[in-house]
Amino acid sequence: MKIHILRCGEIRVSSTVPFGNAISAVSTARQLAEPDRKRVALPVFSYLIEHPNGLLLVDTGWCREISPEGVYDAAAVKKVLSAPLAAFYRPTLPAGEAIHEHLAARGLSPSDLDCVILTHLDPDHVAGLRHLRGAKRIVLPEDEYFWNCRAVYKARQPQELWIHEPIERLYYRGAADAPNRWAIDLYGDESVLLVNVPGHTDGQAAVLLRKGGKFVLLAADAAFSPRNWRENITPGFGFDRQQQLKSLRWIAAKAADPGCAAVLCSHDPGVLPHSIEI
Ligand SMILES: [Zn+2]
């Protein structure tokens, strides 16, 4: 199994987002108003996976419309995101980094994708869905879809970016090895597990890719870098800090497992695009 890390744009967020250790209305308001000098530029990663059952994609990054010329464009961002989300993310999508541009550079089109897995519905993970029409399957945990009814998620996860796409909702089921003992076994052989890692959102999935005794864990936004689980620092943006801590403890245990080839976070500035084979 080969895992290719694709950079699908950038966010420029408050430095309290990756390591803030607290979530409240006040901290969120501060993050929206944070001046440029206190912001950090973080990558937005998607993952293309060559699996024996076909090509998988995990998350989609930003859409081209948010950054038509490949540079920061405040007016274009506001056509895609609400004013608060635009202020929170300050996104950029350089030329060649939109998901369909990555696919085209590899001689692929969306119809070559057997499954697109969405870890959660925040816009930096799903805005590129519009470029993937023709993919054979798009899957999302039902819990993530269900909880979008909550006001806080409705504000965070603009429905127009995903509600009209043909998303197949999969149910978490009992699993021994997961923070809340919930996971989705995509192919029934434990080679692709969507493990519920709640806290950032209720329904968020990490994706555990397993081949033989080796595995790679795509931690989504449960952590922003290894520092989160090594020092037990929760990210400063999310929904439930206690659940974030529980998810971090599980990730720390996976990272310490001798079978672990890598734990990758969706916004880790310490990671450069590369490929991993297990
Ligand atoms: Zn994210």
CATH number, domain containing residue 50: 3.60.15.10
As a whole number, the mean pLDDT across the chain is 96
- CA contacts within 13 A on the Cβ side of 130: 13
Question: Is residue 263 domain-resident?
Answer: yes
Give 14 Cα–ligand 1 centroid separation in angstroms.
13
Q: Full-prediction pTM beyond 0.85?
A: yes
pLDDT digits (tens, 9 = 90+) for 210-230: 999 999 999 999 999 999 999
User: Which structural domain, as residue segments, surrounds residue 180?
Assistant: 2-273
Give 242 Cα–ligand 1 centroid separation in angstroms.
19
Question: Is residue 96 domain-resident?
Answer: yes
CA–CA–CA angle 156, 175, 129 (5° rounding): 35
Give 176 Cα–ligand 1 centroid separation in angstroms.
27
Question: Is residue 256 domain-resident?
Answer: yes
Question: Is residue 278 domain-resident?
Answer: no
Task: Work out how many domains the chain is built from and give that number.
Answer: 1
Question: Is residue 120 domain-resident?
Answer: yes
Give 186 Cα–ligand 1 centroid separation in angstroms.
22
Question: Is residue 72 domain-resident?
Answer: yes
The alpha-helical segments, DSSP class H, found in 52-136 are 74-80, 83-89, 99-105, 123-126
Give 222 Cα–ligand 1 centroid separation in angstroms.
9
Give 269 Cα–ligand 1 centroid separation in angstroms.
13
Question: Is residue 208 domain-resident?
Answer: yes
Give 20 Cα–ligand 1 centroid separation in angstroms.
15
Question: Is residue 19 domain-resident?
Answer: yes
Give 198 Cα–ligand 1 centroid separation in angstroms.
14
Distance CA 92, CA 41 (A): 10
pLDDT digits (tens, 9 = 90+) for 167-191: 999 999 999 999 999 999 999 999 9
